[in-house]
Structure 1
């Protein structure tokens, strides 16, 4: 699932919310003629208006006066979509911000969305994968997902499954039929390990999927990163999975990192992974972030560069990056942070071009406010936002992409010469809706909309 997000989280207590709210209620930065309108709205509306005023990077272009968002929507349409009536104006206000990534999700929908952004997909099963290519006539376990039921039961990579519930699987179809079970049920596997037969019962349960996979192409390690999240099968999230595979492949001098179809995720995770590939003193990335100047009643900006204070564990390895049009946000941050320092090549197609980041607030009503509050720049203060990152080798065919990347990895000579895109990718064209049409929540990227419709 593509998330197209570079996220920071501002999960704070209601006491802090009340302090922020009180500080702004008399000196809120809006004109005096609009204070009456703002004061006549709900506490939730007032809080969110001020969030946008102080933190939305384009508030000077798109944030109007409070009355511009009150009683503007088609109430019948909102009712048909089962949006609670007291959130109508909020959804409309966020929809008018001209930014699919600045949006509002009310409390009835907030919990499931927040979980989807902070953890990998939840799966139900045993949690292992067979090596069908190398052993087509046997059932050899290729990988056991960490913290899965199979892992907890003691199954290991290399184990050969010879019986399921006392029955020998004669082919893949029989294997799959024997291995069907619901959550809470037990499947008993008989395995052969170092010529010893062992019977291991596995209780089927839910577990978090991995977000990083290791494979090999023409003897070159390929590390595929599907998303960046804090909670995965590894206790340290995507970063922990990534570091594990870097250590497992440390004898290799070159590695391919596949970020195709990775829409981003947790900013702390991808920044830590970027630093793992850089040397001491390298600048991983720069972030321009909005700040609330409540004294002067205005929006302020702060620029921070993240500089490596120590050598990364893979600083001397040669990397080749793979990207495509769905490589977005945190994935682009990682690529830009590494190649601007190390000049490693990129193979594939131009990236999505999302050089912005969002902060998420839990509001007083326990809803979620996602606001674009950050802009990403590289060590030279250049931005790829709206234009993406150009590959050095523009290739569409998957086999040719991998073959080219492997050849580059073997030679370890090519230095990046391409830069950022020259053509607007079109992902951030004007999209704000007109009055009386569906607001905020329905401007979410498609993968979010599907969760709640």
Structure 2
């Protein structure tokens, strides 16, 4: 059995070994509740206007029970369960968005970078009113995923409502294979490297270390800007190993179920590929789950300066449990905590320097959307607890990036002023 940390429904995130689930004795009150359920089901079977198979009634009851728990627990039919197995490899067909149901509205949490949804201009906070001509009112999350996903090359038409607009727009999007490449790098100035992680899949750490090694073969790394903005998460082991690449020891993260015995620690280890250069890490409301694990670890160990905006605040662990008939359930079973014991569930990671993103004039209309965080999700779990310097070398591509991104410009200036941080001793 494997367990998953989850941020949305179109991309599988965070995997770890699941703790065994213990059964509990059923008391008299439980039998009374089951008796009431049986009575209601009998009434529906005998008196509802249409004939509904008992298997369908039970399946729908399971769906309702799980979806009322929190935004991330859900029932998985056979197709959904197969999709999860595909998603763990990082390869699947679709448009590449994370979605949630908020007050009955199908809402975009975040588009995945370089996917059809991202290129079509979908943004965090967009409301999807229709999918291929069918209204999303009263739709379930599972049904929405089914309608949006499809064969590569086929087109899905979404009717989108942007905040501040009274007129919905129709956005046709050609489905594609969601790319598995999650690491991008760009030299900002000589010796200063920008590392962008778009999500955490099974190859993220290896790809990141390969790119760092390739750059170090050419010149010394004087500073790093690690960009986790709009990164919806990924595999837990990859989040741990990415953070581990910048830490030589100490705790990266730990997860805690409702029983104290269910705690599991994930420590950093000293490695030959550890990176000791000064760092600035960028986060924003689209940084969730695995991104928050990395950001929280780097912040608690004072390994990197965090800059940007408060992160999403998704700090719960979902366990995917297979059932005997090929279906399964995805159940919230624990919370994760930063090394200093902070639960960021519905709180998020607050950066050391809170600097809002300021879009350029040409991007202002496109980026005038409200931000969405875990605390805004229905039934969410409560938390228990400028210019280049003289002599610098900036490529045209890097110059364009810096020109349209005030947070990145400040990150570069700060990382050049940070003292050398040596984690390897």
Per the normalisation by structure 1, the TM-score is: 0.54
Q: Aligned-pair distance for 1:319?
A: 1.4
d(CA) in 2 for partners of 1:240 and 1:371?
Answer: 30
Aligned pairs (5 A) from 1:259-338: 259-279=228-248, 281-290=249-258, 301-311=261-271, 313-338=273-298
- How far, CA to CA, are the matches of 1:331 and 1:79 in structure 2? 47
Q: How does 1:93-112 map to 2 (within 5 A)?
A: 93-97=65-69, 99-112=70-83
Output one character per residue of 1:353-397: Cα deviation in whole Å (capped at 9) or x when no partner. Answer: 112221111221212311111211122212222111112331312
What do the CA deviations read for 1:274-305 (whole angstroms, capped 9, x no partner)? 111101x3221122135xxxxxxxx6642233
For residues 291 and 39 of structure 2, the distance between their equivalents in structure 1, rounded to whole angstroms, comes to 35
Question: Does residue 350 of the first structure (1) align with residue 319 of the second (2)?
Answer: no
How far apart are the structure 2 equivalents of 1:77 and 1:341? Answer: 62
The answer as to whether partners of 1:288 and 1:374 remain within 8 angstroms in 2 is: yes
Answer with 1 or 2: which has the greater Rg. 1
- How far apart in 2 are the matches of 1:412 and 1:324? 22
1-structure distance, mates of 2:42, 2:205: 45
**Higher RCO (C-alpha under 8 Å, 6+ residues apart):** 1
Q: Compared with structure 1, are the counterparts of its residues 215 and 70 closer, same or farther at alpha carbon in structure 2 (3 Å cutoff)?
A: farther
Q: Deviations over 1:114-144 (max 9, x none)?
A: 4234414569xxxxxxxxxxxxxxxxxxxxx
Tell me the distance in 1 between the aligned counterparts of 2:272 and 2:51. 53
C-alpha contact 1:408 1:414 (8 A) present in aligned 2: no
Structure 2 unaligned residues grouped into runs of 5+? 1-5, 95-151, 154-175, 359-403
Instruction: Find the counterpart in structure 1 of residue 319 from structure 2.
Output: 359
* Cα distance change of structure 1 residues 379 and 73 upon mapping to structure 2, 3 Å threshold: farther
Query: Could you tell me how far apart the structure 1 residues matched to 2:313 and 2:227 are?
Result: 17
Cα distance in 2 for residues equivalent to 1:389 and 1:246: 26
What CA distance in whole angstroms lies between the structure 2 residues aligned with 1:259 and 1:73? 52
Instruction: Specify which of 380, 383, 396 is matched with residue 357 of structure 2.
Output: 396
Q: 1:399 to 1:206 in 2, by over 3 A?
A: closer
Q: How far apart in 2 are the matches of 1:69 and 1:317?
A: 66
1:2 offset after TM fit, Å? 7.2
Answering whether residue 28 of structure 2 is matched by residue 32 of structure 1, we say yes
Kindly state the Cα deviation for residue 113 of structure 1 after the two structures are TM-superposed. Answer: 3.9
2:225 is matched with 256
1:206-217 to structure 2, matched below 5 A, reads 209-217=180-188
Provide the residue aligned with 1:151 in structure 2. none
Q: CA RMSD in A?
A: 3.9
Give SS of 2:330's match: strand
1:8 lines up with 2:15 in the alignment: yes
What is the number of residues matched between the two proteins?
281
| Correspondence 1:106-121 to 2 at 5 A | 106-121=77-92
1:10 to 1:252, Cα distance in 2 relative to 1, 3 A: closer
Distance of aligned partners of 1:69 and 1:268 in 2 relative to their CA distance in 1, 3 Å threshold: farther
Name the CA shift for 1:100/1:217 in 2 (closer, same or farther; >3 Å): same
SS in 2 for 1:214: strand
**Shift of residue 324, structure 1, vs aligned partner:** 0.8
Task: Give 1:188's aligned residue.
Answer: none
Provide the C-alpha distance between the structure 2 equivalents of 1:212 and 1:356, rounded to a whole number of angstroms: 25
